[in-house]
């Protein structure tokens, strides 16, 4: 019974009993969206369902005229007789896990998630279920995050040192989610903060969702500039003069990653769960069956099977999805 509740198709995760897709790869009649990153939220669907705080971001991404139903976290609705509820995933503002219940079977789809508290999004909540579909972007034991307080302290120290040397600080982070987290987490007393226009448009959507963010400037002089990843020789960057460029991403945990990509510094501040976070989440769900998607699926599946779970890689049944989240794949400049 549980095996039939959600199917893995080329269009995405499909619940036949409720006739809806979760994060479909193309336009469908009814789409349940976990969050507003473009590798999960695609245009062309007739109807969307998302968490209330996700809706302004979704409209910014897909257009103001999309038909989207906003639901509160934890409030169940019924879709063709299937009980559906959304629960905080802690990835970015409005990111949700999708709980699906029908005829006694309970499945939960994580979307992207992190278990670490974040001032710019709802705190992750584990969902009890029989079958759990987990992401594994950083599903390797080598990925173990340092406390974010230390990472933000390192960023602040780098910014101060650049100021002392008369260099402008440019900090790369994905325009939706990471940029807002960086804005809220750095020490604004050091100096002004400027946002690249791509990040600024989503900051406005954050404010429409009820999230208050620190003030920013439109001028880069003397500021910390937060921008989406771009080639280090981009014309926009060349105009800034003497700059120090850093990148905030979980991928910076790998030895030498910053230097290989041409950055002066790398800060392993991730919006995804690390290895220990993934395992703790799986245990907290109480699930006996675990599907693994997005990332280091083989390693995590092997570990889970060895330790008593019925685990399988979702990608073998589902068409590969293009990833635009800066941490869903390494940057391709």
pLDDT greater than 50 at residue 317: no
Query: In the 8-state DSSP scheme, what is residue 124?
Result: P
In DSSP terms, 47 is beta-bridged to 30
Residue 323 reports pLDDT greater than 80: no
Q: Are 126 and 210 in contact (CB under 8 A)?
A: no
Taking the C-alpha atoms of residue 116 and residue 152, their distance in angstroms, rounded to an integer, is 14
How is residue 146 annotated by DSSP?
A: P
What percent of the chain lies above the pLDDT cut of 90? 84
* Model pLDDT for residues 158-191, shown as the tens digit of each residue: 999 999 999 999 999 999 999 999 999 999 999 9
How do residues 11-42 score in pLDDT, each as one tens digit?
999 999 999 999 999 999 999 999 999 999 99
DSSP secondary structure, 239-293, as one string: TT-SEEEEEESGGGGSTTHHHHTT-SEEE---SS--HHHHHHHHHHHT-SEEEEE
Domain boundaries for CATH 3.60.15.10 within the chain: 2-142+272-316
pLDDT at 235: 86
Q: Residue 131 pLDDT more than 60?
A: yes
CATH level 3 topology of 148-267: Rossmann fold (3.40.50)
For position 315, what pLDDT does the model report? 65
Please, where in the chain does CATH 3.40.50 lie? 148-267
Phi, psi of 275 (to 5 degrees): -55, -50
Residues 11, 249, 204, 211, CA torsion sign: positive
Rounded Cα–Cα distance for residues 80 and 329 (Å) = 36
SS3 letters across 56-112: HHHHHHHCCCCCEEEECCCCCEEECCEEEEEEECCCCCCCEEEEEEECCEEEEECCC
Q: What percent of the chain has pLDDT over 70?
A: 93
For the segment 236-262, what is each residue's pLDDT rounded down to a tens digit?
A: 888 888 999 999 999 999 988 888 888
Q: Is the pLDDT of residue 332 over 70?
A: no
pLDDT(212) > 70? yes
Q: How far apart are CA 61 and CA 202, in angstroms?
A: 9
The CATH superfamily of 2-142+272-316 is Ribonuclease Z/Hydroxyacylglutathione hydrolase-like (3.60.15.10)
């Amino acid at each position: 019974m549980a095996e039939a509740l959600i199917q893995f198709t080329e269009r995405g995760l499909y619940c036949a009993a409720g006739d809806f897709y979760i994060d479909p790869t193309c336009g469908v009649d009814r789409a349940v969206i976990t969050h507003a990153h473009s590798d999960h939220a695609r245009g062309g669907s007739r109807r969307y369902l998302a968490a209330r705080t996700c809706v302004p971001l979704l409209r910014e991404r897909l257009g103001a005229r999309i038909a989207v139903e906003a639901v509160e976290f934890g409030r169940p609705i019924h879709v063709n007789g299937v009980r559906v509820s959304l629960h905080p995933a802690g990835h970015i503002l409005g990111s949700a896990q999708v709980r699906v219940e029908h005829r006694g079977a309970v499945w939960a789809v994580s979307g992207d998630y992190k278990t670490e508290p974040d001032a710019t999004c709802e705190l992750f909540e584990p969902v009890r279920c029989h079958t759990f579909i987990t992401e594994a972007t950083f599903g390797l034991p080598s990925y173990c995050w340092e406390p974010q307080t230390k990472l933000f302290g390192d960023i602040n120290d780098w910014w101060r040192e650049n100021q002392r040397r008369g260099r402008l600080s440019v900090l790369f982070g994905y325009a939706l989610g990471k940029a807002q987290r960086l804005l809220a987490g750095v020490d604004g007393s050091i100096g002004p903060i400027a946002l690249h226009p791509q990040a600024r448009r989503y900051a406005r959507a954050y404010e429409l969702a009820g999230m208050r963010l620190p003030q920013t400037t439109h001028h880069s002089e003397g500021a910390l500039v937060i921008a989406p990843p771009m080639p280090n020789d981009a014309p926009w960057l060349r105009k800034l003069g003497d700059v120090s460029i850093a990148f905030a991403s979980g991928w910076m945990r790998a030895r030498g990653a910053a230097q290989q990509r041409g950055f002066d510094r790398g800060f392993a501040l991730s919006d995804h769960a690390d290895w220990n976070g993934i395992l703790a989440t799986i245990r907290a769900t109480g699930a006996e069956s675990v599907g693994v998607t997005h990332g280091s699926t083989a390693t995590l599946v092997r570990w889970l099977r060895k330790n008593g779970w019925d685990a399988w890689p979702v990608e073998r049944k589902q068409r590969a999805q293009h990833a635009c989240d800066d941490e869903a794949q390494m940057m391709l400049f």
